[in-house]
């Protein structure tokens, strides 16, 4: 159960993580009531201060203080089924989020330092890692509630709520080596003061991915570093950073964004180590303009940066000056002109989420082509042109106003 002593300690010391206070108590599971032993077997309820399992499930506590207990030692535990070091500090939590035909689920649950304010925007993130010998991968999410949650009556401890922040099914959590960030932005209804992390889908709606044919017949994840912070009203806009020049084969960090203050996405993905990082590493093979989209709940801003690639002293033939799109802005009718000898190109238009909304192959493309797309709604789009070898030759942002 929640311990008022740890809440008061948190109020006195505070948390220095970014520009605003983290509302999660014991966010990295460092404060423990006791070291896991043969009596409590490393349960969250017994060991981790300010956290509990809101059902009769048995969520687990792992900590470096354990010397011999096979279930809770770090890094190797559960008789070899799992192996992971903490992302930070000395401990982390572990939960079963799927168990085959059963609807057994485990969760971790905590009271926030302060209740959320109505219509205010909050940034949420936490990190997960899949246990090595778990046969399935699923998604996880977090649910913010006004009241504490306690369900021990079934079915099999499933909590039937809709999480406000959730990893999409299109990106299953399969990584057993690295800690994977789940993040999002939430506009509060007001009064939310509890957080619950786990999987909230029943066996009919859950999406699973089989990643092995041996081991535990379920999905099990470690959880670390839970952060919930208020996004200030005067938050900065997207900042893709200064244009960069590199030699082919080199890499460079792009972006000049504050850490953990919004949800970021970068386009195109070619050459980026992660399209969701605030400031990713870029290693393009040709000169590329990258676009940074920053979603801060009440506003969405876009900025761009060009990484110019010099192929070992040879002049880069393909560059943005060879193409032109006009007018821009437009109403979905625009022209593409170029001065290259090649005549076969692929035109691809995506929206700011990366969804392809138009695709056309040009065989013997004329020096000027008129494009008519009546289906484009008002908003920003990315227009990319590639050659037959799928090399990106040109990328620009286009505004459509209907």
CA dihedral (183, 140, 149, 151) in degrees, to 10, reads 180
Q: How far apart are CA 158 and CA 143, in angstroms?
A: 13
Three-state DSSP at 11 gives: helix
pLDDT band at 254 (very low <50, low <70, confident <90, very high): very high
Please state whether the peptide bond connecting residue 176 to the residue before it is cis, i.e. omega within 30 degrees of 0.
no
Q: How many C-beta neighbours within 10 Å does residue 341 have?
A: 6
127, 225 Cβ separation under 8 angstroms = yes
Our measurement of the distance from residue 44's CA atom to the centroid of its chain's CA atoms, rounded to an integer in Å, reads: 25
pLDDT band at 128 (very low <50, low <70, confident <90, very high): very high
Q: What is the pLDDT of residue 234?
A: 65
Q: What is the pLDDT of residue 17?
A: 38
pLDDT band at 395 (very low <50, low <70, confident <90, very high): confident
Indicate the range of 7-11, 87-91, 94-98, 120-124 predicted with least confidence: 7-11
Write down all domains in the chain, each with its CATH number in brackets. 4-230 (2.60.120.260), 244-400 (2.60.40.3080)
Mean pLDDT, all residues of the chain: 84
Q: What is the pLDDT of residue 99?
A: 87
In the predicted model, is pLDDT for residue 273 greater than 60? yes
Q: Strand 252-253 to strand 141-145: parallel, antiparallel, or no bridges (unpaired)?
A: unpaired
Q: What is the pLDDT of residues 99-110, one digit of tens each?
A: 888 888 999 999
Indicate the range of 288-292, 320-324, 328-332 predicted with least confidence: 320-324
pLDDT band at 133 (very low <50, low <70, confident <90, very high): confident
Residues above pLDDT 90, as percent of the chain: 48
Three-state DSSP at 144 gives: strand
DSSP labels, 360-401: EEESS--SEEEEE-TTPPSEEEEEEEE-TT--EEEEEEEEE-
Closest CA to 396 of 347, 343, 363, 361: 347
Q: What is the pLDDT of residues 202-230, one digit of tens each?
A: 888 888 899 877 667 889 999 999 999 99
Rounded mean pLDDT of 235-264? 85
In the predicted model, is pLDDT for residue 12 greater than 90? no
DSSP 85: -
């Amino acid at each position: 159960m929640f311990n008022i002593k740890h809440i008061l300690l948190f109020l006195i010391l505070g948390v220095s993580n970014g520009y605003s206070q983290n509302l999660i108590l014991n966010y990295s599971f460092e404060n423990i009531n006791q070291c896991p032993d043969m009596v409590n077997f490393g349960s969250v309820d017994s060991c981790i201060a300010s956290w509990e399992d809101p059902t009769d499930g048995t969520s687990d506590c792992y900590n470096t203080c354990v010397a011999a207990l096979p279930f809770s030692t770090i890094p190797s535990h559960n008789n070899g089924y799992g192996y992971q070091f903490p992302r930070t500090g000395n401990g982390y939590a572990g939960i079963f989020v799927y168990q085959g035909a059963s609807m057994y689920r485990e969760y971790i649950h905590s009271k926030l330092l302060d209740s959320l304010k109505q219509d205010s925007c909050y940034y949420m993130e936490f990190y997960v890692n899949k246990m090595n010998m778990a046969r399935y991968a699923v998604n996880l999410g977090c649910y913010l509630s006004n009241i504490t949650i306690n369900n021990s009556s079934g079915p099999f401890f499933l909590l039937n709520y809709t999480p406000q922040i959730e990893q999409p099914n299109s990106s299953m959590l399969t990584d057993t080596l690295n800690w994977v960030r789940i993040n999002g932005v939430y506009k509060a209804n007001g009064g939310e003061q509890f957080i619950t992390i786990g999987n909230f889908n029943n066996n009919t709606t859950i999406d699973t991915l089989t990643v092995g044919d041996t081991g535990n017949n379920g999905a099990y994840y470690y959880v670390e570093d839970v952060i919930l912070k208020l996004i200030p009203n005067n938050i900065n806009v997207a900042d893709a950073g200064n244009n960069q020049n590199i030699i082919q084969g080199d890499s460079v960090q792009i972006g000049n964004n504050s850490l953990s203050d919004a949800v970021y996405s970068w386009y195109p993905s070619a050459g980026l180590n992660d399209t969701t990082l605030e400031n990713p590493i870029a290693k393009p093979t040709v000169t590329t303009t990258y676009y940074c989209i920053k979603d801060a709940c009440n506003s969405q801003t876009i900025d761009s940066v060009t990484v110019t690639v010099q192929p070992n002293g040879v002049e880069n033939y393909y560059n943005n000056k060879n193409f032109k799109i006009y007018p821009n802005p437009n109403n979905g009718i625009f022209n593409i002109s170029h001065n290259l000898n090649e005549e076969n190109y692929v035109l691809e238009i995506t929206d700011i989420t990366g969804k392809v909304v138009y695709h056309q192959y040009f065989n013997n493309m004329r020096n000027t082509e008129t494009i008519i797309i009546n289906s484009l709604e008002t908003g920003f789009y990315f227009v990319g042109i590639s050659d037959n070898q799928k090399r990106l030759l040109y990328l620009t942002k286009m505004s459509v106003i209907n």
